[in-house]
Structure 1
Amino acid sequence: MMDSHRTSGGGAIRRDGEVRDVTATTGQPASAAARASDVWKVYGSGEAQVIALRGVSAEFERGRFTAIMGPSGSGKSTLMHCLAGLDTVTRGTVQVGDTTVTGLGDSGLTKLRRDKVGFIFQQFNLLPTLTAKENILLPLSIAGRKPDPAWYDVVIDTVGLRDRLGHRPAQLSGGQQQRVACARALVARPEVIFADEPTGNLDSRSGAEVLNFLRNSVREHGQTIVMVTHDPTAAAYADRVVFLADGQIVSELIEPTAETVLDTMKKLDTPAEVAG
């Protein structure tokens, strides 16, 4: 079965290599956790102008794990930052759930990031003086909210850190620190979690642990994750991979493998081959 996602530009390639046209975009299904509609992002002006995104339209379905890939400078991180409200768009519309991110003021963006969005970055961004538990609960503490005890237990057991909750970051391995960061993003039950190169600072074993956690949080708990990565092996953990080149979506893969991701990346210089 083909996935129901729609993108602008390019085709959707299944694991079996079959190419289907996905250029038609109609309607706005309620299942979208995040959506970009004809998004442009332009930096600078005149001769110094850089167009990072060129009319990108994409939907990210609830309860799915999507990876965003592309060559350096393709716009993948810019797209994620615009979706997460970390950057503004020049033109177009961004939505997270039923909230239109485009045009939100500072207070609205603060509320969005606090209530609807979780973040996982390449740098773990843990406070060194706090324990693992205190780091996990920090966003809720800042918001004046208490965790749901049952959900907190599920998160802690999912990341496998129950015996490390009293440890500070310096007492944890890199993989354990990133799992703390994952738990911190998940504990507030956000609409969507955005992960920017979450395994970039980890060895292959620790990276696999984090990626397995992210995949399990989607499959077992219905979390929505959008991950930027340059690693075909990491992208293979996702349900879907969206490929950008020169600020545009040029292709996508459903049920990817590391081999099909790598093959698609090699073909990005010849879009006609990718689109069939």
Structure 2
Amino acid sequence: MTSVVRSVAARASDVWKVYGQGEAQVIALRGINVELAQGQFTAIMGPSGSGKSTLMHCLAGLDTVTRGDLFVGDTQVNKLSDSGLTKLRRDKIGFIFQQFNLLPTLTAEENILLPLSIAGRKPDQVWYDTVIKTVGLEDRLKHKPTELSGGQQQRVACARALVSRPDVIFADEPTGNLDSRSGAEVLNFLRNSVRDFGQTIVMVTHDPTAASYADRVIFLADGQIVDELLEPTVDQVHDKLKSLDPHAHSGDV
């Protein structure tokens, strides 16, 4: 059987992130080497304080590294100027956060189109229609965020991340504020956007159910990658997390 050779959407090479000095020094990332494949849904997991959010923020150019190199596609993130980083985040990266981050005065449609408006770009109408249909928001476009449920607001945020066709979407606990049904809607949408549109998604989560939607799960502990699972099940993820953090309760890892 021939395996598909995928391009690399983002990678970290010997990345260290150190906060503070002397007694107060905290090493958040210790020599991380990882490649994240294009057209794949990758989840990053680990106990609290393992460095998973730090790694994602560094890859996305939201935080700087102490040492090492980071790439999104062929672009070396850690060598960019502030304006270069702004351009990278505008043109190549989509973000989905736990706190939806929608502007309350704008309609769902205006929120979705905001990154393109800021960049002075027009949406590709066919792609826009496809995204709206996929997130199931056709009849909600004129509503303000306060008129939408949490699940609908997060689907607006997902559509906003997708509409500019970024190289990579970084999702930070995207279902953290949602009930299980709304969470499943959002996760199905993310998985389908990988499968149907070849989107690349990197998601930080503490939830084994959310991680089971991914193609690959990377586990961090003490700032290092310690393991990974391919085509993970909820039980496999749960057992792996328990072995990394035996003191954690099942719902709090």
- Name the TM-score, length of structure 2 as normaliser: 0.95
Kept after mapping to 2: 8 A contact 1:185/1:193? yes
One-letter code of the match for 2:54?
T
Name the SS of the counterpart of 1:93 in structure 2.
strand
Asked whether the equivalents of residues 47 and 245 of structure 2 are also in contact (C-alpha less than 8 Å), the reply is no
Could you say which residue in structure 2 is the equivalent of 1:107?
A: 83
1:152-191 equivalence runs, <5 A = 152-191=128-167
Q: 1:78 matched to which residue of 2?
A: 54
How far apart, in 1, do the equivalents of 2:36 and 2:3 lie?
11
Runs of 4+ in 1 over 3 A off after TM superposition: 1-4
Deviations 1:111-148 (A, max 9, x none): 00000000000000000110000000000000000000
- Alignment match of 1:93 (pick from 69, 72, 75): 69
Give the aligned partner of residue 26 of structure 1.
none
The match for 1:258 is 234
Deviations 1:230-276 (A, max 9, x none): 00000000000000000000000000010000011111159xxxxxx
- The question of whether the paired residues in 2 share the 8 Å contact of 1:194 and 1:225 is answered with yes
Secondary structure at the residue paired with 2:235? helix
Q: Say if 2:211 is the partner of 1:223.
A: no
Unaligned 5+ residue runs, structure 2?
247-253
Change (3 A) 1:163 1:269: closer
Hey, what's the Cα distance between the residues in 1 that align with 2:155 and 2:57?
22
Q: 1:197 aligns with which of 173, 179, 204?
A: 173
Check the 8 A contact 1:156/1:162 in 2, yes or no.
yes
Shift of 1:2: 11
Gaps of 5+ in 1: 5-28, 271-276
Contact map agreement 1:2 1:254 (CA 8 A) in 2: no
Question: Which residue number corresponds to residue 120 of structure 2?
Answer: 144
The separation in 2 between residues aligned to 1:269 and 1:121, in whole angstroms, is 25
Q: Specify the alignment match of 2:211 in structure 1.
A: 235
Residue 214 of structure 1 is matched in structure 2 by 190
Q: Give the residue type in structure 1 aligned to 2:65.
A: V
8 Å contact from structure 1 (residues 73, 246) kept in 2: yes
Structure 2 SS opposite 1:264? helix
Give, in whole Å, the separation in 2 of the partners of 1:216 and 1:103: 33
Q: How much does 1:30 deviate?
A: 6.9
Tell me the residue number matched to 1:127.
Answer: 103
Q: TM-score, normalised by structure 1?
A: 0.87
The amino acid across from 2:35 in the alignment is E
Matched with 2:251 is: none
Change (3 A) 1:199 1:264: same
> Residues 167-213 of structure 1: CA distance to partner in whole angstroms, max 9, x if unpaired?
00000000000000000000000000000000000000000000000
Query: d(CA) in 2 for partners of 1:239 and 1:117?
Result: 20
Deviations 1:41-77 (A, max 9, x none): 0000111100000000001100000000000000000
How many residues align structurally?
Answer: 246
Structure 1 distance, partners of 2:63, 2:231, is 30
- Give the Cα separation in 2 of the matches to 1:254 and 1:2: 17
1:67 equivalent in structure 2: 43
In 2, Cα distance between equivalents of 1:246 and 1:30? 29
